[in-house]
Amino acid sequence: MTQHVTEHDVRDIAEYTRIGLTDEEVARMTGDLNAIIDSLSPITEYDLEGVEPTFHPIGGLSNVMREDAEEPSFTQGVALENAPKQQDGCFLIPSILGEGGDR
Amino acid sequence: MAASPAFGTMGARVIRAGLAAKEFSAREIAESSLARIDVANKDLHAFLETTEQLALEQAAKVDAAVAAGELDACGPLAGVPVAFKDNMNLEGTHTTCSSKMLENYVSPFTATCVARTIEAGGIPLGKLNMDEFAFGSSTETSAFGPTKNPWDLSRVPGGSSGGSAAAVAAGLATVTLGSDTGGSIRQPGSFCGTVAVKPTYGVVSRYGVVAFGSSLDQVGPFTRSVEDAALAMNAIAGRDVLDCTSQNVDTDFTANLAEGVRGMRIGVVPAFMEAQGLTPEVKAKVEEAAEHLRALGAELVEVDLPNAQAAMSAYYVLGPCEAFSNLARFDSVRYGYCDPGHKDLGSQYEASRAAGFGPETRRRVMLGSYLLSAGVYDKYYYPAQQVRTLITQDYARAYEQVDCILAPVSPRTSFRFGEVSDPTDMYLSDMFTISINIAGNGGMSLPVGLGADTHLPVGVQLISPAFKDENMLRAAAALETVYGPAPIAPAYADGKAGE
Amino acid sequence: MRKLEEVLKDWEAVIGLEIHAELTTLDTKMFCGCKLEFGAEPNTHTCPVCLGMPGALPVPNRAAIESIVLAGLATNCDIEKHSMFYRKTYMYPDMSKNYQTTQGPVAFCMRGHLDLDVDGAAAKERIDLDGLDVGESRGNATRTETGYTAHVGITRIHMEEDAGKMVHIGGGEGRIAGATHSLVDYNRAGTPLTELVTDPDLRTPEEARLFMQKLRQIYLALGISDCSMEEGSMRCDGNVSLRRRGAKEFGVKTELKNMNSFKNLHDGLAYEICRQAEVLEEGGQIFQETRHWDPSAKRTIVMRVKETADDYRLFPDPDLAPYDLTDEWIESVRAKLPELPDQKAARFEDAFGLTPYDARHLVEHRATADFFEACMELAGADAAKLAKPVANLVINDVTAYLNAHEGAQLADTPLTPARAVALVRLTAADAISSKQAKEVFAAILDEDKDPDAIVRERGMEQVSDTGAIEAVVDAVLAANPDKVEQYRGGKTGLIGFFVGQCMKEMRGQGNPKVINELLASKLSS
Class of domain A1-46: mainly alpha
- Stated as kind and residue range, the H or E segment containing B346 is helix B345-356
Under 8 Å CB-to-CB from B186, ≥6 apart: which residues?
Answer: B180, B196, B198, B409, B410, B433, B443, B444, B445, B459, B461
Mean local confidence (pLDDT), B411-439: 90
pLDDT reported for residue B458: 98
Is A50 in the B-facing interface, judged by CB distances under 8 Å? no
Q: CA nearest C74: which of C355, C339, C322, C349?
A: C339
Per-residue confidence band for B425, with pLDDT thresholds at 50, 70 and 90: confident
Among B108-122, B387-401, C436-450, name the one with the lowest average pLDDT. Answer: C436-450
What ipTM describes this predicted complex?
0.96
Distance separating alpha carbons of residues B435 and B396, to the nearest angstrom = 13
Q: Is C60 in contact with A64 (Cβ distance < 8 A)?
A: yes
Nearest CA in chain B to A52: B386
The DSSP secondary-structure symbol of B18 reads: H
* H-helix segments, C193-236: 205-222
Q: Chain A partners of B362 at a C-beta cutoff of 8 Å?
A: 19, 21, 29
CA distance B127 to B139: 14
Average pLDDT score over residue span B366-373: 97
pLDDT of C87 strictly over 90: yes
Secondary structure of residue A32 in the 3-state scheme? helix
Q: Which residues of B are catalytic?
A: 85, 160, 184
In this prediction, residues B319-327 reach a mean pLDDT of: 98
Residue-wise pLDDT tens digits, A26-40: 999 999 999 999 999
A93 touches chain C (CB under 8 A): yes
CATH numbers and ranges of domains, chain C:
4-331 (no CATH), 341-457 (no CATH), 466-524 (1.10.10.410)
Q: Which residue of C has its CA nearest to B205?
A: C57
**Banded model confidence at residue A103, pLDDT cuts 50, 70, 90:** very low
Chosen from A13, A58, A61, A73 to mutate, greatest number of chain C CBs within 10 A: A73
Contact: C62, A56; criterion CB under 8 Å? no
Q: How confident is the model at residue A101 (pLDDT cuts 50, 70, 90)?
A: very low
Please indicate whether residue C137 or residue C457 has the higher confidence score (pLDDT): C137
**Per-residue confidence band for C307, with pLDDT thresholds at 50, 70 and 90:** low
Q: Is the CB of B325 inside 8 Å of chain C's CB atoms? A: yes
CB atoms A70 and C33 under 8 Å: yes
Instruction: Tell me: pLDDT of C312 over 90.
Output: yes
Q: Which chains touch A (3 or more CB pairs under 8 A)?
A: B, C
B63 Cβ partners below 8 Å, 6+ apart? B25, B26, B27
- Pick the residue with more confidence: C431 or C149? C149
Q: In whole angstroms, give the CA distance from residue B442 to residue B152.
A: 29
Of B145, B144, B139, whose CA–CA distance to B188 is shortest? Answer: B139
Nearest C-alpha neighbor of B387 from the set C455, C113, A44, C496? A44
Residue of A nearest to C303 (CA): A103
Percent of chain A with pLDDT over 70: 94
* A18 in contact with chain C, both atoms CB, cutoff 8 A: yes
Q: What is the pLDDT of residue C61?
A: 98
- pLDDT exceeds cutoff 60 at B3: no
Residues C354 and C358: their CA atoms lie apart, in Å, by 6
pLDDT score at A102: 42
Q: Write down how long chain A is.
A: 103
Q: What is the pLDDT of residues B39-51, one digit of tens each?
A: 999 999 999 999 9
Q: Average per-residue pLDDT in chain B? A: 96
From B332, B365, B388, residue closest to A17, measured CB to CB:
B365
Out of C52, C59, C315, closest to residue B329 by CB = C52
- Name every chain C residue with its beta carbon within 8 A of the beta carbon of A72: 33, 47
Domains of chain B: 7-309+388-495 (3.90.1300.10)
Specify the pLDDT at position B421. 83
Query: Do B334 and C51 lie within an 8 Å CB cutoff?
Result: yes
Q: Decide which of A103 and B248 is more confident.
A: B248
Tell me what pLDDT residue B1 has: 41
| pLDDT over 60 (residue B33) | yes
3-state secondary structure C117-133: EEEHHHHHHCHHHCCCC
Residue C304: what are its φ and ψ, rounded to 5°? -160, 135
Share of chain C above pLDDT 90, in %: 68
Q: What is the pLDDT of residue C223?
A: 95
Give the mean pLDDT of chain C: 92
For chain A, the domains span: 1-46
pLDDT at C218 over 60: yes
Predicted confidence (pLDDT) at residue C283 exceeds the cutoff of 90:
yes
pLDDT of residue C496: 86
Beta carbons of C514 and C469 less than 8 angstroms apart: yes
Determine the distance in angstroms separating the CA of A1 from the nearest CA of chain C, rounded to an integer. Answer: 26
Residue B268's pLDDT is 97
User: C458 falls in which pLDDT band (50, 70, 90)?
Assistant: confident
Inform me whether the pLDDT recorded for A41 exceeds 60: yes
CA gap B1, C503 in Å, rounded: 118
Question: In the prediction, which pLDDT does B499 show?
Answer: 65
Tell me, yes or no, if C303 comes closer than 8 A to chain A by beta carbon. yes
Tell me the pLDDT tens digit for each residue of C472-496. Answer: 888 899 898 898 988 888 888 888 8
- Taking the mean position of all CA atoms in its chain, how far away is CA B130? 10
The pLDDT, as a whole number, for residue A99 is: 59
Q: What is the mean pLDDT of residues C356-381?
A: 91
- pLDDT of B4 reads 65
The whole-number pLDDT of residue C89 equals 96
Chain B residues near residue A75 by CB distance under 8 angstroms = none
* Interface mutation vs chain B, best among A4, A17, A29, A81, most B CBs within 10 Å: A17
Q: B362 to chain C nearest CA, in Å?
A: 16
Shortest CA distance from B313: residue in chain A:
A40
Q: Do B245 and C318 touch (CB under 8 A)?
A: yes
Q: Between C135 and C429, whose confidence is greater?
A: C135
Between these two residues, C46 and B427, which has the higher pLDDT value? Answer: C46
Amino acid in position C9 = K
pLDDT at residue C376 above 90? yes
* pTM confidence score: 0.91
Partner-chain contact B244 C97, CB within 8 Å: no
Q: Please tell me which residue, C5 or C456, carries the higher pLDDT value.
A: C5
C330 touches A at CB < 8 Å: no
Chain B positions touching C179 (Cβ under 8 A) are none
In this structure, of B201-215, B257-271, B289-303, C292-306, the range with the lowest mean pLDDT score is: C292-306
B332 chain-C contacts, CB cut-off 8 A:
none
Minimum CA–CA partner of C86 in chain B: B325
Does the distance separating the beta carbons of A10 and B366 come in below 8 Å?
yes
Candidates C287, C321, C278; CA nearest to C307 is C287
Whether pLDDT at C464 is above 90 = no
Half-sphere exposure at residue C63, Cβ-oriented, CA atoms within 13 angstroms: 21
Name the percent of chain B lying above pLDDT 90: 94
- Would you say residue B2 has pLDDT above 50? no
Q: With beta carbons under 8 A apart, name residues in chain A contacting B389.
A: 51-54
The number of angstroms, rounded, from the C-alpha of A47 to the middle of its chain's C-alpha atoms is 29
pLDDT beyond 50 at B484? yes
B39 near B1, Cβ under 8 Å?
yes
Q: Confidence class of residue A100 from pLDDT cuts 50, 70 and 90?
A: very low
